[in-house]
Amino acid sequence: VPEGLVDPAVSWIEALSRLTKAVNEEMPIARFFEIVAATAAEIPGVNACAVQMANSAGTHLLIKGQHGLTPEYVHEANSGQMSLDPSNSFYASPSSRAFRNGEVICIDEALDDDGYMPWRELAKREGYRSMAAVPLMGEDKPVGVLAVYSPGVSIASPANLELLHVLSNSISWALRIAA
C-alpha cells in the first residue's frame, strides 16, 4: 500500500505496540523515554519531544529522553531552566506549570507568549513556534512532563492532544511497573 494511503490509526496502533513491547522488555527507563519521545515526534506537526522528569530534590525538571532537540538545547534546559522554584524566572515555563498544576499547557505561539519569555531565544534557535506540555502522573501526583514542539503555530488539535494523553498514560504505566 502506498505510504500516503496508510490509515493514521494503523500507524498509532503500531506505535502503541512498540511502547508496550518496550515496557515488557524491561529495558532501562532512559531507553524507554527515548522510544516515547521518538513516537511523540510522529504526531502530525510535531518535530521534537522531551520527556522531563523531576529531579530527586523536586526543584527542577530534567530532560531524561528526547527526540529532535539539539544537544545544546538539552544541556541548557538541564542546567536549571525548568525550575519548580517560585523565585526562579523560569517558574512560569509551560512544563513547570503543567507539572505543578497537573494540567496540559499549550502554547500556540511561543514567540508571543509572555510565560514563554525566558525560552524565546531557545525556541528561535530550535525552530519551533508552538508546544504542548502534558503532565506525567505518578500514583497521585505529577512526576514529570511530556513536552512536544512544533515549527507550526499550533499542535493542540483534539486528535493530537488525545495522542499525547495516550503517550503520557503509557509513560505513567511504565514508571509504575518499573517502581
Q: What is the pLDDT along the chain (179 residues), one digit of tens a residue?
A: 445 545 656 666 777 777 777 777 777 888 888 988 888 888 778 889 999 999 988 899 999 999 999 999 899 889 877 889 888 877 888 899 999 999 998 888 877 877 677 777 888 888 888 889 999 988 888 889 999 998 887 777 777 788 788 778 877 877 776 66
Q: How far apart are CA 25 and CA 37, in angstroms?
A: 17
pLDDT for res 32:
84
Task: Show the cell assigned to 85.
Answer: 522554584
Cβ atoms of 110 and 128 closer than 8 Å? yes
Nearest to 32, CA basis, from 45, 23, 44: 23
Which residues, including other chains, have CB under 8 Å from residue 104's CB and lie 6 or more apart? 98, 132, 133, 134, 135, 161, 164, 165
Task: Show the cell assigned to 41.
Answer: 515526534
The region, left, alpha or beta by phi > 0 then psi within -120 to 50, assigned to residue 55 is: beta
- Please tell me what DSSP assigns to residue 112: T
pLDDT for res 6:
52
Task: Show the cell assigned to 10.
Answer: 494503523
